[in-house]
Structure 1
Amino acid sequence: MKYPRMRPLLLTAALLMTGAASAADLKMYPYDGSRLLAGQRFDLRIEAENVKGFKSATIRLDGKLIEGLVQTTTKETSTEWTLRGQSITPGAHSVSVVFSDDAGVQTKVARWTADAPAPTAKAKKVILFIGDGMSWNVMNAAKMVAFPFNPANGLPTGKLAMESDLSSMASVTTSSYDSALADSANTASSIATGQKILVNALNVYPDNTDDTLDNPRIEPITGILRRTTGASIGLVSDAFGTDATPAAFAAHTRRRGDYQTIADQYFQGEVKPDVLLIGGSRDFIPSTAPGSRRKDTTDWIADSQKLGYNFVSTRTELLAANSNKLFGLFNIDNVPSYLDRAQYKGENTLKDFKDMPYLWDSTQKAVETLEKNPDGFFLMVEAGMIDKFEHPLDWQRAVWNVLELDKAVAYAKDYAKKNPDTLVLVTADHAHSLTVYGGYDATKGPGQRNAVGVYEAAGFPTYGDKRDANGFPVPETSRTYAVGFGATPDYCETYLGRAEYQDPTVSNGKTGAEAGFVPNPKICAEGAVQRVGNLPASANQGVHTADPMPLFAFGAGAENFMGVMDQTEIFFSIARAMGLDGRKTK
């Protein structure tokens, strides 16, 4: 896309203001320091707040006056300018604003750079795995469960597929546009766009309006691929379908909780994934259907089939599917944890959903569907239930979901060996504070602090003495790990898992300023050590942390991922591996 056309621009308006004059607050998006891909589309937004008698503004891109800006006045003390669907050529650029009001004249500059495309494209297919909340510690805990140490010599007995036979690896740091700490929406958006995004936002910059859907947008890699190469797009997640991570690759909103709109954008936005295999159906079924949280009668199960999608709702239907477009919903909400589906199989947990796919099933079927497109594909696979169970401090369910993810990774790596134009990436969006700090003698029962062993007293846990039909260890064994979290509310620690999930806290029954949460008495009654948390009393779960995450790369273009990387760099490294040029059109 070319630069916007340029013409002399003089924007004037008069406001009657009172009070002492002070400089207006000027904001510009994309923000100063933005790194973009050449041709990547974005919305230019300039805002002046606390304006005292607006007189004029002159806005230039690389010294040339900009044509086409739309001026608005959101409130009496503000003036804004917006120009949507813009892009820039490779190199350094700047936007300058000379702003004048009764307080005087001021100038503000935002400097951007745009990456040129790589001269050659190595990867035509990308499979990106995101373990939600899978920090280095979480991944390592999964390995310690899957491959117990040899008690004869202390050596590990194996590695996870994600960390074996590496082409390259990196350690990834993260932050938000507005915070050092991050959530899944802004972190997944950073991977998707290369930009720092606000907490709770999906692929948009800030603005000064209340409308969550009018914010200036930034194009995700899935949109660029769709527009410039015609590649197919696939999204797989075991979380509910409109959750932050899958939404970051197909939606734009300031509020990740705009679930109905996100569902609509999957089918009406610029990305329109060819494969969408996800958890919760509640945002895709009409308001008249049980469990729906839509506010209208839209039925995406029916409407998607009119758009050419093959709809599936069970593992059996998924494995039998053979189509070019595939839409799957496998629960009313999140898909239950691996342990609940494969081992515990509790009626209260599974309810009417007895035939749900494993993550490796969905990954394989997604690849088989997407690879029919000769223009290549981009597939994002999220293990969202890692995070869903780290929040309530249920480390067993979280860690076994890492093992489920790892089996999907093993399939993808094997696919990449047979298809050398494929890049496989495994990383996380953010961290949690999980850590293994000792061993636990489970024969002494739950909640026995003196059953925790450290250093040589930790011994070697006995995972693997019993395995399920998929070859995964069962969590009930005589010697386990002592695992804790660094960011918690008050809760009761039993050290052991349970066949039926329990929330770690319950309401204290108070209202107003005294409202908060206390340890769940049902868990405390099992035999437990009461822990004093370090989060505010209003917290009912653990929270994300700023710890780094792993990144493992295999196959075509893997050399672009190495060392310590900021999360935004993942986008640019994928673009280099694919030789992506945002200026092209399909």
Structure 2
Amino acid sequence: MKRRDFFKNGLLTTLGLGALGASPALATTIKRKGLAKNIIFLVSDGMSSGTLNMADILMRHKYGKPSTWIDLYEKNTVKRGLMDTASANSFVTDSAAAGSAWGGGMRVRNGALNIGPNGEKPVPILQKFKSMGKAVGCVTTVQITHATPASFCVNNGSRNAMPEIAEDYLKLRFDVMLGGGANYFSPEKREDQRDLFEAYRQTGFDLVRNKAEMLNAKGDKPMMGVFADEGLPYAIDRNTDPSLSQSTPSLPEMTQKAIDIMSKNPQGFVLQVEGGKVDWAAHGNDGPALLYDQVDFDEAVKIAMAFALNNDDTLVIITTDHGNSNPGLFYSGQANKNFERLYETKASNEWILNQINPDFSLDMVRELFVEYQQIPLKTEEAEAILASYQVGADGLYNPANLPFHQLAGIQSRYTSIQWAGTNHSADYVELAMYGPGSEKMNGFVKNYELHNFMLEACGAKRELFV
């Protein structure tokens, strides 16, 4: 088979995969010069180009340094391209379909995890790499059972089957899995009342539930780390709250720990790193949360690149699964001054809105925004926010019906950040690579092509491709 045929369409990679998952024939790799022993695949979920842009501006002017991602472009360290993110049934993908394109090598319908339009079940890519003897795992700031990590790991008709996905992970015994989602492991929250935490302990996992336990773990057993009931706190809220900083690991800390453990494997490792709450912040038009979670993700990129620069057998892939809400810094006579408020912001919109209740006075609302976001709301703006607690609001990842979209409209006058909407977009997205195999990357890539690309970069036998 010619190499160009590998990428001709997404369905090629599904043919015959069902019986190949743990075949001994897959346990070896082709020994060639210039192969990737390790892959670190970093995903800032829901990152529009404006998010990358604004985070770089913030870092340059607050910290006096560019973002790692833009610095890699500036110094021509990485190969750069654009990626088409469509799913099997829409120009606009969700995270399950986008991740499955990478994880299974074919486009699937929105909401599905590696289940093709005709019922195909491609073997997820981390199962393939595990069968080759590599250490594999995922770290994320959302539930470890959420769409993006799950898309590299399992086959399921619904991304919402997170209790079932938590059970799948127990069987798969991947090497390092770190994130949130305790509600899908806890007997008090699961419908079947099964104690998955205890099941993981009894079957030889190192179960870690806080930052100290994670950092102190020896890494001599498979590790499952679950640090929040659902998603982890936004980075800006974690950094402001000493108790959260002490108990909850950051994305760069989880990334470093995973690399430390997995790099001990002589056959190498494949790690997916997801800044999942960048997407949640974009859905909520939450500027402070968005920018500081993107900064947190950028620190994880820095850690991955530091490892790769010292290990020339490591391929680093940096991208996003889709755009979301297309935020940007827009022109006004006070754009610079307005944006500078973000340098001193202490809390996400989510945190602030959760402090407010209908009994708050207007002065209490205004004082809260001045203290935590340096925003001097007008009386009528405070009134509008309070009124929204009487009628409620809608939005993804918004169980408390908080007025995210309304607040973002008010904030734009003070920050000069504006939003195109509250959901995913069909934008072509940034794709960057460094290390062995990156020289073969085209300037324009379809998302499903990355599946075979990663396998080929590691010199996997052809059985893994088709």
What TM-score do the two structures reach when normalised by structure 2?
0.77
Larger gyration radius, structure 1 or structure 2: 1
- Cα–Cα, structure 1 residues 295 and 419, in superposed 2: closer, same or farther, change >3 Å? same
The runs of at least 4 consecutive aligned structure 1 residues that moved more than 6 Å come to 502-507, 521-530
Structure 2 match to 1:127: 40
Structure 2 match to 1:238: 141
Pick the structure with more helix per residue.
2
Structure 1 match to 2:107: 196
What are structure 2's unaligned runs of at least 5 residues?
1-7, 22-28, 348-365, 374-384, 394-399
Instruction: Tell me the CA shift for residue 305 of structure 1.
Output: 2.1
Structure 2 match to 1:569: 449
Structure 1 match to 2:180: 279
Q: Give, as a single letter, the amino acid of the residue that structure 2 aligns with 1:232.
A: A
Task: Name the SS of the counterpart of 2:463 in structure 1.
Answer: coil
Match of 1:363 among 248, 255, 265: 255
Which one has more relative contact order, counting CA pairs under 8 Å at least 6 apart? 2
Structure 2 match to 1:551: 431
Instruction: Tell me the CA shift for residue 306 of structure 1.
Output: 2.4
What TM-score do the two structures reach when normalised by structure 1?
0.62
Q: 1:5-60 deviations in whole A, cap 9, x for unaligned?
A: xxxxxxxxxxxxxxxxxxxxxxxxxxx944535x97535xxxxxxxxxxxxxxxxx
Q: Give, as a single letter, the amino acid of the residue that structure 2 aligns with 1:186.
A: A
Structure 2 match to 1:475: 345
Q: Which residues in structure 2 correspond to 1:294-309 (within 5 Å)?
A: 294-309=190-205
Q: Give, as a single letter, the amino acid of the residue that structure 1 aligns with 2:335.
A: A
Task: Name the SS of the counterpart of 2:80 in structure 1.
Answer: strand
Q: 1:125-167 deviations in whole A, cap 9, x for unaligned?
A: 1111110001222111110111139xxxxxx964311232423
Q: 1:411-437 deviations in whole A, cap 9, x for unaligned?
A: 111111111111111110110133324
Cα distance in 1 for residues equivalent to 2:101 and 2:387:
31
Contact 1:193 1:203 in 2 (8 A): yes
Task: Name the SS of the counterpart of 2:110 in structure 1.
Answer: coil
Q: Does 1:222 align with 2:222?
A: no
- Cα–Cα, structure 1 residues 382 and 548, in superposed 2: closer, same or farther, change >3 Å? same
Instruction: Tell me the CA shift for residue 573 of structure 1.
Output: 2.0
Q: Give, as a single letter, the amino acid of the residue that structure 1 aligns with 2:441.
A: F
Cα distance in 2 for residues equivalent to 1:319 and 1:194:
34
Cα distance in 2 for residues equivalent to 1:282 and 1:462:
37
Cα distance in 1 for residues equivalent to 2:32 and 2:387:
53
Instruction: Tell me the CA shift for residue 396 of structure 1.
Output: 1.6
Q: Does 1:410 align with 2:302?
A: yes
Cα distance in 1 for residues equivalent to 2:291 and 2:419:
23
Contact 2:178 2:254 in 1 (8 A): yes
Q: Give, as a single letter, the amino acid of the residue that structure 1 aligns with 2:176.
A: V
Q: Does 1:142 align with 2:55?
A: yes
Match of 2:166 among 263, 269, 275: 263
Contact 2:285 2:405 in 1 (8 A): no
Match of 1:36 among 4, 8, 12: 12
Cα distance in 2 for residues equivalent to 1:416 and 1:581:
24
Instruction: Tell me the CA shift for residue 554 of structure 1.
Output: 1.7
Instruction: Tell me the CA shift for residue 297 of structure 1.
Output: 3.0
Q: Give, as a single letter, the amino acid of the residue that structure 2 aligns with 1:475.
A: T
Structure 2 match to 1:46: none
Contact 1:42 1:216 in 2 (8 A): no
Structure 2 match to 1:373: 265
Q: Give, as a single letter, the amino acid of the residue that structure 2 aligns with 1:167.
A: V
Cα distance in 1 for residues equivalent to 2:322 and 2:409:
32
Q: 1:368-418 deviations in whole A, cap 9, x for unaligned?
A: 111121111100010001001110110220111010011111111111111
Contact 2:10 2:448 in 1 (8 A): no
- Cα–Cα, structure 1 residues 398 and 175, in superposed 2: closer, same or farther, change >3 Å? same
Percent of pairs identical after alignment?
26
Match of 2:240 among 343, 354, 360: 343
Cα distance in 2 for residues equivalent to 1:401 and 1:556:
29
Q: Does 1:177 align with 2:60?
A: no
Match of 1:328 among 219, 222, 225: 225
Q: Give, as a single letter, the amino acid of the residue that structure 2 aligns with 1:144.
A: I
Instruction: Tell me the CA shift for residue 504 of structure 1.
Output: 12
- Cα–Cα, structure 1 residues 519 and 381, in superposed 2: closer, same or farther, change >3 Å? closer
Q: 1:58-116 deviations in whole A, cap 9, x for unaligned?
A: xxxxxxxxxxxxxxxxxxxxxxxxxx669xxxxxxxxxxxxxxxxxxxxxxxxxxxxx9
- Cα–Cα, structure 1 residues 498 and 388, in superposed 2: closer, same or farther, change >3 Å? farther
Contact 1:507 1:518 in 2 (8 A): no
- Cα–Cα, structure 1 residues 413 and 42, in superposed 2: closer, same or farther, change >3 Å? same
Q: Give, as a single letter, the amino acid of the residue that structure 1 aligns with 2:101.
A: S
Q: Give, as a single letter, the amino acid of the residue that structure 1 aligns with 2:183.
A: R
Cα distance in 1 for residues equivalent to 2:386 and 2:68:
32
Task: Name the SS of the counterpart of 1:147 in structure 2.
Answer: helix
Q: Give, as a single letter, the amino acid of the residue that structure 2 aligns with 1:313.
A: R
Q: Which residues in structure 2 correspond to 1:13-52 (within 5 Å)?
A: 33-37=9-13, 41-42=16-17
Cα distance in 1 for residues equivalent to 2:328 and 2:42:
24
What number of residue pairs does the alignment pair up?
405
Cα distance in 2 for residues equivalent to 1:417 and 1:226:
24
Task: Name the SS of the counterpart of 1:236 in structure 2.
Answer: strand
- Cα–Cα, structure 1 residues 577 and 566, in superposed 2: closer, same or farther, change >3 Å? same
Contact 1:392 1:504 in 2 (8 A): no
Q: Give, as a single letter, the amino acid of the residue that structure 1 aligns with 2:154.
A: A
Q: Does 1:392 align with 2:284?
A: yes
What are structure 1's unaligned runs of at least 5 residues?
1-31, 44-83, 87-115, 150-155, 208-214, 440-452, 467-472, 478-493, 511-516, 536-540
Q: Give, as a single letter, the amino acid of the residue that structure 1 aligns with 2:12.
A: L
Instruction: Tell me the CA shift for residue 499 of structure 1.
Output: 4.6
Task: Name the SS of the counterpart of 1:261 in structure 2.
Answer: helix
Contact 1:560 1:576 in 2 (8 A): no
Structure 1 match to 2:403: 520
Contact 1:121 1:579 in 2 (8 A): no
Q: Give, as a single letter, the amino acid of the residue that structure 1 aligns with 2:37.
A: K
Task: Name the SS of the counterpart of 2:184 in structure 1.
Answer: coil
